[in-house]
Structure 1
Amino acid sequence: MTVVLRAARPLDAGATGEILWRYLRETGWMPNLYSGAQTIAFCGKMIDRGWVTVAEADGRIVGFLARDGQEICALYLNRAVWGKGIARLLLDDAKSQARALRLRSFEANARANRFYRRAGFVEVARCDGRDNAENLPDITYVWPKEAAR
């Protein structure tokens, strides 16, 4: 499978929104807060701001990363491509464009937390969920390790 990374275009909001919405629906511990249309609109806003890089395989969007400066706001993949190195490609691309990165991941998302630690991110804080819409405990990570100081 050949994967191409590119800047998202406005018409990519549907595909990125679908990836995010499916993840939210298929993850048992995530609260059901947003409709499919709201999720697509959210992705459209991130795309309009120039934050989104998409991963395409065989002409289809299979994942995306949204980054606002040093803050990674979203990294989601179609489940069919989990474990194929696409998240790493997106993250390495973000690393190549920033001196430091920061992100928050839900404590319950053990798979993502392992991925970020393996990718060199260091935990710097935990929150009980009062600072996010989902009210779920989260972990703040930074990269590189020196950024934690």
Structure 2
Amino acid sequence: MSREGGGVVLRRAVAADAGAAAGVWLRSFAAALPTVVRPRADEEVQDYFRHVLVPLRETWVAESADRAVVGVMVLAEGELSQLYLAPHWRGRGLGDRFVALAKEREPDGLSLWTFQVNAPAHRFYERHGFTAVEWTDGAGNEEREPDVRYVWRPWHADPDPAAGRTGR
């Protein structure tokens, strides 16, 4: 565990990180997606991190030099299901580090969903080699917000981005 990029370390989340990780998610979602209506109350998001994401999924946090959780990433069976940074930590290379870690952990490929209104996320993932392969009207997500599915396949994997679809 080394402190790179502004003294930030990426590490597996432990139970004690759940509240802080959920706080990052809530602040990031509000800042990046102000027009998207969240169907879950803050307490439900906190519970989801505490009872599902941290104990049952491969959850990683970014911890700053002052020991604050400033980012969270969740991997689940080839899907990058969550990647959120504290708003003041965007643009510092932390997302790049998380994506590199995700690719290292899932070397045969990754998929993810992001909302269609989130143009900065589209640019970010495309810069990291992800390709948009599916657009929906949002009927499959709880926000009912149109979204887009991205995939990343390494050069040695199946070149068909629709192969191995994880669905919703």
- Give the TM interval when normalised to the shorter protein: over 0.9
- Counterpart of 1:35 in structure 2 is 41
Can you give the 5+ residue segments of structure 2 that lack an aligned partner in the other structure?
1-5, 163-168
- Counterpart of 2:54 in structure 1 is 47
Residues 147 and 11 of structure 1, relative CA distance in 2, 3 Å threshold: farther
* Alpha-carbon shift at residue 30 of structure 1 (Å): 1.3
RMSD over aligned CA atoms reads 1.3
Which residue identity lines up with residue 95 of structure 1 in the other structure? K
Q: Sequence identity, in percent?
A: 30
TM-score, length-scaled by structure 1: 0.94
Question: What is the CA–CA distance in structure 1 between the aligned matches of 2:119 and 2:129, rounded to whole Å?
Answer: 16
Which residue identity lines up with residue 30 of structure 2 in the other structure? R
- Counterpart of 1:112 in structure 2 is 121
Residues 123 and 32 of structure 1, relative CA distance in 2, 3 Å threshold: closer
- Counterpart of 1:25 in structure 2 is 30
Deviation above 6 Å: which 4+ runs of structure 1?
Answer: none
Which residue identity lines up with residue 17 of structure 1 in the other structure? A
Structure 1 residue 123 and structure 2 residue 132: aligned? yes
Larger proportion of helix: 1
Can you give the 5+ residue segments of structure 1 that lack an aligned partner in the other structure?
none
Larger proportion of strand: 1
Which residue identity lines up with residue 99 of structure 2 in the other structure? L
Residues 3 and 126 of structure 1, relative CA distance in 2, 3 Å threshold: same
* Alpha-carbon shift at residue 24 of structure 1 (Å): 3.0
Which residue identity lines up with residue 64 of structure 2 in the other structure? A
Matching residue within 9, 13, 16 for 1:8: 13
Matching residue within 111, 120, 139 for 1:102: 111
